[in-house]
Amino acid sequence: MKKGRIFSGIQPTGVIHLGNYVGAIQQWVKLMHDYDCIYCIVDYHAMTLEYEVQTLRDNIREAAITLLACGLDPEHCTLFVQSRVPEHTELTWIFNCLSPIGDLERMTQFKEKSQQHREDINMGLLGYPVLQAADILIYKAGFVPVGEDQVQHVELTRRIARRFNNRFGETFPEPQEVLTPTSRIMGTDGKTKMSKSLNNYIGILESPEAIWEKLRTSVTDERRIRRTDPGDPGVCNLFTMHKVFSSPEDIARINRECRTAEIGCVECKKILFNNMMAHLEPIQQKARQLRDNPDAVLSALDEGAGRCKKMAEQVMQEVRAKTGIRQTVPTV
């Protein structure tokens, strides 16, 4: 018996990096056995920033391959591409009409993105969390696994659900966030969140050479200027990665020897690299197999879209009836 329904999405940005993997995908894989999990490649969301058409197509396919390679199993969860279920955007319009602009302008992500993309602050960027609310509520999902930076968007989803229910009658649940229990992996600069746009990421399907080069040049505890300087693993992003990929023995040793400068950062990074690659190599191998078998990927996505389409149509029928749209003209 599953505990409830979960919805979560990932943007097809072209690379799934360690931040996505540790912050979301690892947890998605665990949750699929206990919950009715719907996982979505959110291509509508990817349109909020300028993009190349062919690149978006390729990125959607790569995202699906990577997610399946990471362990999402279509037998135990639903994986689909958002635009295969256009009811997401229909519900978004209705939610737009219930969303004060001030609420959207206060979203931290909107403020950050509009700073980063001053030349293209479009409506999609502002309405991004409304589309997220529609993504979640069109399946009446009760739980949303998120990192702390997305809690604000789940709160907004609850407010939208409440407004809809107050105005049109009880329809949507108020979903709860399921917080990712692991520490947040920062970028290779050690300071900002790992992200493709900041070019501080390590892609989980990158070659071992590329991964080593990125680890080798990653920022550590900046007080370790000389090999003999003691450091503090508590402030080092590489140690956070050890906590994900290394054995308890390696973690204990590094925690001890970094503080006394018995271990240098290069040696510490080599241990991390070996442990990380032992973890990533099977994923990379599965991704290669899936690339050679595109029909398996398409069939998983088709099946997922079929299931979601049925659920979304049903909810939209209820929403249309309650909001007074698309009703047939009564005959006299």
Q: Nearest distance from residue 219's CB to ligand SF4, in Å?
A: 9
What residues make contact with ligand SF4 under the rule CB under 6 A? 220-221, 224, 231, 233, 236, 238-239, 254, 258, 263, 265, 268-269
Q: Nearest distance from residue 213's CB to ligand SF4, in Å?
A: 16
Nearest to 316 by CA among 83, 88, 9: 88
- Closer to ligand SF4 at the Cβ: 274 or 323? 274
Known catalytic residue at 309: no
Angle CA(45)–CA(292)–CA(59) in degrees, nearest 5?
A: 15
Decide the pairing of beta strands 5-10 and 36-41: parallel
Q: Nearest distance from residue 317's CB to ligand SF4, in Å?
A: 56
Q: Nearest distance from residue 193's CB to ligand SF4, in Å?
A: 18
Known catalytic residue at 113: yes
- Closer to ligand SF4 at the Cβ: 145 or 233? 233
Angle CA(38)–CA(58)–CA(49) in degrees, nearest 5?
A: 80
- Report which residue type is found at 177: E
- Closer to ligand SF4 at the Cβ: 92 or 246? 246
Which stretches does DSSP call E strand in the chain?
A: 5-10, 36-41, 78-81, 143-146, 176-179
Q: How far apart are CA 6 and CA 1, in angstroms?
A: 14
Q: For 79, phi and psi rounded to 5 degrees?
A: -120, 130
- Closer to ligand SF4 at the Cβ: 26 or 255? 255
CA separation, residue 317 to residues 87, 105, 125, 241, 327 (Å): 10, 31, 28, 46, 10
Nearest to 241 by CA among 284, 206, 271, 267: 271
Helix ranges (H only) for 260-293 are 265-291
- Closer to ligand SF4 at the Cβ: 250 or 303? 250
Tell me the two tokens of residue 246: 């290394």
Of 140, 193, 309, 322, the catalytic one is 193
Q: Nearest distance from residue 264's CB to ligand SF4, in Å?
A: 7
Of 30, 196, 243, 286, the catalytic one is 196
Known catalytic residue at 270: no
| Residues tagged active-site | 113, 193, 196
